[in-house]
Amino acid sequence: MKETDVLDDYILQHIDPESDYLKALYRATHVKLLRPRMASGHLQGRMLKMFVEMIRPRQVLEIGTYSGYSALCLAEGLEEGAMLHTFEINDEQEDFTRPWLEGSPYADKIRFYIGDALQMVPQMDITFDLAFIDGNKRVYIDYYEMILPKLRAGGYIIADNTLWDGHVLEEPRSADAQTIGIKKFNDYVASDERVEKVILPLRDGLTIIRKKEEQKRK
């Protein structure tokens, strides 16, 4: 076993446990879905819940529901009356994901949409306090620019996979649109003075972005 694996095990033994429901969902994801690594997992899930408890948002946006694991963790941290709006563009995912969301203890805090968030979110009359981006890496900048006007001043965006297994350090092949998209997004956010930002080397990289009170570019 690698030293990093031992350290990962140590971390998981010293943080809050997953619920039995999340454990069952994680197992089902690995048995029934392609690319199960896309699911957030124990450590990131507990961190998402804690971020929600720290920020105390009333309206949360998630782009990229996949199996619903991260949605359940976000919803778990919500206060009474708060709502998570989670979008999944792949309609073939619905038969797996919807029963897990609707059968969870947090079903009343989750609204699940099938469709393209880039088209649907701008039509919503909602100001978000927190957004979690975990969708198509090719269009992360598009998600970001769509969200910012609908995010309250002082609100947060969390972008997943921003270290992309270390591929951000490599020169991507011309056909590798996902790595190109992530690298462009990272450069774009780094130079954006409308926000504060920090990258956490957790799992595959999490970028925490805070929208400044003053929105004018210098």
Q: Are 128 and 152 in contact (CB under 8 A)?
A: yes
> Within a 13 Å sphere around the CA of 72, how many CA atoms are in the beta-carbon half?
27
Q: Are 29 and 18 in contact (CB under 8 A)?
A: no
Query: In angstroms, rounded to a whole number, what is the distance separating the alpha carbons of residues 1 and 47?
Result: 25
Which burial class, exposed, middle or buried, applies to 158 when counting CB atoms under 10 A from its CB (0-12, 13-18, 19+)? buried
Classify residue 216: in a domain, yes or no. Answer: no
Instruction: State which amino acid sits at residue 102.
Output: E
Sequential pLDDT tens for the chain (218 residues): 566 789 889 999 999 999 999 999 999 999 998 787 778 899 999 999 999 999 999 999 999 999 999 999 999 999 999 999 999 999 999 999 999 999 999 999 999 999 999 999 999 999 999 999 999 999 999 999 999 999 999 999 999 999 987 888 888 787 789 999 999 999 999 999 999 999 999 878 999 999 998 655 54
Per-residue pLDDT at 173: 82
Per-residue pLDDT at 1: 54
Domains of the chain: total: 1
Per-residue pLDDT at 115: 97
Written as six digits, the tokens of 167 are 């591929």
- How big is the chain, counted in residues? 218
Compute the C-alpha angle 32/90/69, nearest 5°: 55
Query: In angstroms, rounded to a whole number, what is the distance separating the alpha carbons of residues 130 and 48?
Result: 11
Classify residue 22: in a domain, yes or no. Answer: yes
Classify residue 218: in a domain, yes or no. Answer: no
Classify residue 217: in a domain, yes or no. Answer: no
> pTM to 2 decimals?
0.93
Per-residue pLDDT at 218: 46
Classify residue 103: in a domain, yes or no. Answer: yes
Compute the C-alpha angle 5/96/24, nearest 5°: 45
- Domain span at residue 158 reads 3-211
Classify residue 155: in a domain, yes or no. Answer: yes
Could you tell me the CATH number of the domain that includes residue 174? 3.40.50.150
Compute the C-alpha angle 152/80/54, nearest 5°: 55
